[in-house]
């Protein structure tokens, strides 16, 4: 019973740290927009915002280290998902998607292969030509030709 309670507490702590990171990233995005909007002759204002952005980046780094110290396995999973998301973004630049589904938005996200295998995902994206690009729950970016994926109605 103690191990489950400790595990639940660790999970709640990591979730809280991730939420803090998300809030800081949102603040950082706003600060970047502010930086771009500052007229170039206002160097002092630009420097102040740049310093704030640097401080926010440091906070994110510190929180990531805290996650790693709390649960290195979860930290590694998060890093792997982030790397796969970057790969997904790079691949997506040259594609025109007609359908995109994310686990965050819909609560369910998967594709079904013709052999009946269901692949749960964080993101699925269907191209005009019927091919699929997916980001799996394991943090892998995979591509499937249209002929391998069961067409959902």
Instruction: Read off the pLDDT band of 62 (50, 70, 90).
Output: very high
Say how far apart CA 23 and CA 57 lie, in whole Å. 12
* Domain boundaries of the chain, sorted by first residue: 2-70, 90-148
Architecture of the structural domain at 90-148 = Roll (2.30)
d(CA 20, CA 121): 24
6-46 tens-digit pLDDT: 888 888 899 899 899 989 999 999 999 999 999 989 999 99
* Residue 103: per-residue pLDDT: 83
Q: Give dist(CA 10, CA 14) in Å, integer.
A: 6
- What percentage of the chain reaches a pLDDT higher than 70? 97
Mean pLDDT of 67-95: 89
Q: Which pLDDT score, from 0 to 100, does residue 41 have? A: 92
With bands split at pLDDT 50, 70 and 90, how would you rate the model's confidence at 151?
A: low
CA distances, 101 to each of 24, 33, 43, 86, 142 (Å): 25, 27, 42, 17, 15
Q: Span 46-60, mean pLDDT?
A: 95
Look up tokens 């102040």; give the residue. Answer: 48
What pTM was estimated for this model as a whole? 0.68
């Amino acid at each position: 019973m103690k191990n489950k309670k400790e595990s639940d507490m660790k999970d709640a702590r990591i979730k809280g740290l991730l939420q803090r990171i998300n809030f800081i990233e949102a603040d950082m995005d706003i600060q970047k927009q502010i930086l771009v909007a500052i007229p170039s002759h206002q160097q002092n204002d630009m420097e102040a915002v740049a310093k704030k952005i640097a401080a926010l980046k440091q906070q994110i780094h510190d929180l990531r280290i805290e996650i790693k110290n709390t649960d290195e396995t979860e930290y590694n999973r998060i890093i792997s998902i982030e790397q796969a998301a970057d790969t997904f973004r790079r691949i997506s630049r040259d594609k025109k998607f007609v359908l995109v589904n994310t686990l965050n938005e819909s609560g369910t996200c998967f594709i079904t292969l013709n052999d009946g295998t269901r692949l749960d995902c964080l993101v699925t994206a269907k191209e005009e030509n019927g091919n699929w690009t997916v980001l799996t729950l394991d943090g892998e970016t995979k591509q499937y030709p249209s002929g391998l994926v069961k067409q959902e109605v």
